[in-house]
Amino acid sequence: MDDKKVLVMCTGNSCRSIIAEALINTFLPNVKAYSCGVAPTGKVNPNAKKVLEQHGAWSDAYHSKHLDEVIDIDFDLVVTVCDHANETCPMFPKPVNKIHVGFEDPDGKGYEAFEKTYEHIKDRLLTKVKEQL
């Protein structure tokens, strides 16, 4: 059976969506996650990278990218993790199931905020993604 494909979207694709992508790839077997931003910053927040490294979930493949880089992938589910991405979520070439699970943006805050975001995403998002696939 082919892996299910999930796209996680937020605005900057530097914190929440990268963490979510890593967590899905780490904890959900047979699911391949991707992430992108509607206005990507072009870089991964150092604290987002650090929290993933601390939990053994970081991969150098993770990087901040625009939707254009992944639009042609046949996704089974699109997840928005910030209100802005939810409101501006584009149309995909084929109909795709979309859900919104919002998380507070830790960008600009201390490392503890990233640790908290990691836990929130792990607790809330993984269950929702499993339910949808």
Q: Which two tokens stand for residue 126?
A: 């993984």
DSSP 8-state symbol, 50: H
**What pLDDT is stored for residue 94 in this prediction?**
79
**What pLDDT is stored for residue 1 in this prediction?**
63
Domains, the chain, with CATH or none: 4-126 (3.40.50.2300)
Q: Is 15 a catalytic residue?
A: no
Q: Is 36 a catalytic residue?
A: no
Encode pLDDT of 31-66 as tens digits. 999 999 989 999 999 999 999 999 999 999 999 999
Q: Which of 82, 121, 125, 129 is catalytic?
A: 82
Q: Which of 70, 89, 126, 133 is catalytic?
A: 89
Residue stretches of the chain with pLDDT short of 70: 1
**What pLDDT is stored for residue 83 in this prediction?**
85
Q: Which of 10, 18, 79, 121 is catalytic?
A: 10
The pTM assigned to this predicted structure is: 0.94
Where helices occur in the chain by DSSP H, the ranges are 16-27, 46-54, 83-88, 111-120, 126-132
